[in-house]
Chains A and B, each alone.
Chain A
Amino acid sequence: MNANLASVIAIVVSLTGILLLAFENPKRRRAFGLPPHNSATLWRAAWILILLPPLYLLARQETAPLMMWLGALSVAGWVVAMRRPKSAPQSAEGTNRPLTTMTAWLARRGRAVAKRS
């Protein structure tokens, strides 16, 4: 498989897992005023989705896609986690607006995925 295609697939699969974990995270849910949602199945599915791609890439010794997966996930995970409640104040520099819009979109997609699963 093309190395870049392998990286993209690995990133998308693991990002789905990250979105599920973010959806499930109890502390995050409290901050959003959402009721607790503890689904062991969802939690397990999330971790499988996160860990499967790197294990596959590691087994195939695809070092470049593995590093890209790690790098992309650390940025994407941050973007997912950055989504704030609407009442949060704008930052002093006001640098967050594009990021907030993007994270809100990602979180909506995450919720849709979670509902389907």
Chain B
Amino acid sequence: MSFLDQKKTKRLFAIHGWSGIALGVLLYVIVLTGAVAVFAHEIGVWSVGGAANDKGLTQPVDRIIRGLADKVDPKYRDDVGAYTVESGALSVFFHTHETKPNGDIGDRGVRFLVDPATGSVLSRAEGWSSDIYGQDQASALKRFLIDLHVQLYLPSPWGLILTGILGLAMMVAATSGLIMHRHILKDIFVAPRPGNLLLHARDRHVLAGTWGLPFAFLLAFTGSFLSFAFTIGMPIVSMSAFGGDKMLVGEILGGHAQTEDKTPAVVTNLDAVLADGQQRAGSAPTYIHVGHWGRADAKVGVWFEPPAGDLGFLQLGFNGVSGAFEGQKPRVGSKPSFGATASSVLTALHYGLFAGLLSKIIWLSLGLASCYVILTGMVMWFTRRREDPAWAPWTRMVPAIGYGLPLAMLVSAHFYFQAIGRSDTATWTPWGFALATLAVIAAAVAMSDRVELTRRLVLATAISAGLLPLARMMAGGRSWGEAVAIGEPVVVSIDLLLLIAAAALTWHWKGSPQPQWLRRRLAAAAQPEPAE
């Protein structure tokens, strides 16, 4: 397979190894949180204890939205977006597009959370959308995990730029690995060989890397695309072709009407539009948007789950006054194009949400397989340098990040449940993660025995996972009986998965090698007492 001479292979090997070891920790964070974020919706539902009303937009919402429209400042009726959140409440956001003080385009308006069954307003918040959604306490855990994956919880746009670069680094690692490996097809079924530790570590890394290569490349490419699209792509297009008018670019990409008609008009019945759209799409609506509410040029867009066998979410357009169906709307622009199709497919392939639970499980497995490749790559790197005193302390990095990250994610969930119901849940959730990370780093620095560090981290992760269902229930979350009674399978499923994970980790902890100090103590105890 390899067409490189020894010198070039060696150079490529160095690029592959150094890029992997330099960015491996951040890559592992992105890939693992990404794998978990595939189930972001389920995590959101579980964290709020399930939805008593899970009818979503299939229940009547027209009367509620119309009633709220009368209560808001007319300037915020420019755009209206509505969907149901994890708790089953209807979120309705009346907003307009304005330029933020930092020059970015943002949505500013009023967001209501409404009980869709009774129409009573649960909460009202006014301001920039980023601030409103950023302070949404109930979805704090889900949002934190997504933020960690999307932009490493760094300020925008730096986090997105960094994750985009990491995506490129992952592509470099995948490509260089492919070129370096001389017998990629011959070795595709060769199990890791026993004996030599380094050879064994190499086989594990190469085998997992080879099988996961197409998807590692695909997920890295689509991730980079999504990161760079709005941080670099859109500003470049806006500067080069639209004189820096980001608002105009947004309008064109959104496919909004070019000709305006501000004549007052009554908005069509949204329930009728949703029913019509559902019949056409053959799947459930997830989001409804009304542009230019109360005007003759009003447009309604309805988003649907991907129809059976398709990859992308479906968006149907309707006239906002007559309710007449106007056709399927592409993801980008107003007319079908290669760019719109590519954007839709790339997004769908990155998220893996296109076929319900099955595609989510497969995408989660792909993410976990990529984590395995990253970790085994690190094991190989440190095994090769285990005799070097300069590198020896760094060998503890592998268990520290391998188990430390899942542990920190679990601790952040514990903090979330401790703070739930308060106004600072969204603050404490990331703090839980940060404190757990610092504790793991301190443990890795303090403990010189890597085996002991591994054992303690495994045990801590097992305890943390095992106690999480209890913490959720003690924080006022639904019990299993209550969850079953309202027909919510997600709560019980995630609780059970956590308990299974805790049991598996405890089993692993019990079977893992004993640390040096315990081995020495046991050996000393086994020594026969000297005869008097």
List residues of chain A with CB under 8 Å of any chain B CB.
2-4, 6-8, 21-22, 25, 27-28, 31-32, 61-65, 67-68, 70-72, 74-75, 77-78, 80-85, 87-98
Contacts and interface: CB of A to CB of B under 8 A. Distances in A.
A77 B511 contact: no
B309 A85 contact: no
Nearest to B308: A3
Given A84-B191, A93-B379, 17 more contacts: A3-B355, A4-B356, A7-B355, A63-B311, A71-B363, A72-B365, A74-B212, A74-B214, A74-B369, A75-B369, A78-B212, A81-B189, A88-B191, A88-B195, A89-B200, A93-B398, A94-B513
A2 B369 contact: no
B310 interface: yes
B215 interface: yes
Contacts of B195: 88-89
Contacts of B365: 71-72, 75
Contacts of B212: 74-75, 78
B194 A64 contact: no
B342 to A, nearest CB: 13
B424 to A, nearest CB: 37
Contact of A31 (B191, B308, B355, B508): B191
B309 A63 contact: yes
B366 A74 contact: yes
B362 A68 contact: yes
A31 B211 contact: no
Which of A7, A31, A71, A72: most chain B CB closer than 10 A?
Answer: A71
Interface stretch (B201-209, B228-236, B249-257, B518-526): B201-209
A28 B187 CA distance: 8
B189 A8 contact: no
30 contacts: A3-B308, A3-B355, A7-B355, A7-B358, A21-B189, A27-B189, A28-B191, A31-B190, A64-B354, A64-B355, A68-B359, A70-B214, A71-B362, A71-B365, A75-B362, A75-B366, A75-B369, A78-B208, A80-B189, A81-B190, A81-B211, A82-B192, A82-B208, A85-B194, A89-B195, A91-B204, A94-B454, A94-B513, A97-B508, A98-B508
Contacts of B44: none
Interface in B39-78: none
B309 to A, nearest CB: 4
A94 B512 CA distance: 7
B186 interface: yes
Interface of B: 186-195, 197, 200-201, 204, 207-208, 211-212, 214-215, 306, 308-311, 349, 352, 354-356, 358-359, 362-363, 365-366, 369, 372, 375, 379, 383, 398-399, 402, 450, 454, 504, 508, 511-513
A25 B402 contact: no
B381 to A, nearest CB: 12
Nearest to B345: A63
Contact of A82 (B191, B197, B349, B358): B191
Which of B204, B211, B309, B369: most chain A CB closer than 10 A?
Answer: B309
Given A67-B349, A75-B369, A88-B194, A93 B200 contact: no
A82 B207 contact: yes
A83 B191 CA distance: 6
A97 B512 CA distance: 10
Nearest to A71: B362
A24 to B, nearest CB: 9
B401 to A, nearest CB: 11
A98 B186 CA distance: 26
Contact of B188 (A6, A75, A81, A93): A81
